[in-house]
Structure 1
């Protein structure tokens, strides 16, 4: 039975990756078709071959800037996730905090990210700090919101059991509410992994001397559209790989609630 299950899982994996490759191939054909049929100049929309050649020619430059952006994103993801977890636990543990702090968090999400980027650059400078702060701001809310929602939706039966066993507040939180909310935390972290590169790149657009966002602005200013597309596609591939890595890392959290143990 285990061999059959493994074969089925392998078959699903092959179909999944096969569909992904078909989608990529279709997108490339569509891209090339638009370029060919419209006859757009290369500085407006370069074709896939030209972008690939630019990526290969500038691979060392792109790798250098990718490393900077990846560093900003990963550090921001770790800090934002840690702060989000701590904030969610505090909000779930304090009714006063939910009444006072939660509306403030919602209000901050109504502010455009572009409006905050120049302020952070002014306060933290043009280095990594302002870009990491931007990533943290974008990551923080989905992690906090998802995990807090999970903590507040603990199954009533588990809470009644904890009360019957005379478990205290913190013991109930540690042994029941947090484990039950781990799938929600995993969803929040996966969502944050998608948003994290956006924050770093926006910070680089506002003011930076390194990173993929800076490279895109530099290429655009010099009318090197092929290089700009190469940097953009590199950012997209990095975001997809980051999401996949986070998904694999949090998959165990999604199935670790107490009622499944």
Structure 2
């Protein structure tokens, strides 16, 4: 912010800064470049990805599984992200006991993303989840992205209600942004989703370069997953802290107006 020469930088009382007044104030906003993104999706391939979602059903009437819904949500994200900027790129990995590539080459092609998502196979024997290799790979790839004047982001989609992910921090910390979407069962004797969520938050705070977001849902609703993926469209360089991020707005009914005696000039009409 810079004030006009010889003038106070404080506008007179009652005059908004954007309007000219007796002592007009000049503002300038330094230009900033938003870098194109390289986004790595890491998709949980444990047994709990086969849990069925609620409400939404596939062509044969069977409810979609978490994995099927995740695939649809990712394709929704990619199509929307490329509409915003066709220069973003995407790669894909799976998480069983540890990290493994599905498609290592970053691409802006939707067909490439679709083919990679078809290659996911569920590993029912995955008894634990280790994010160490994911973070190491992300740190390595982030350096390559930076050399191309791009930024790197990891989006983890995690579905285990009783298995907290393990991890060791990479040697080079905070080179990429870390987001997570956590689908889980409701808390119970065999589940500890709160502990899992806390572990993801702890990991985010230690590895994320820009503000990272974590969304969780135990409702099993596809629309909640899709809403969360749309929220992750926000560019890391433009983000507010997650607690201040209230988009989309909740559709809450306005409180009814105070009742008053109707008159010819003031008749209250209730529309149901």
The structure carrying a bigger helix percent of its residues is: 1
- TM-score with structure 2 setting the length: 0.23
The structure carrying a bigger strand percent of its residues is: 2
Q: Which protein is bigger by CA-based radius of gyration? A: 2
Structure with bigger RCO (C-alpha 8 Å, 6+ apart): 1
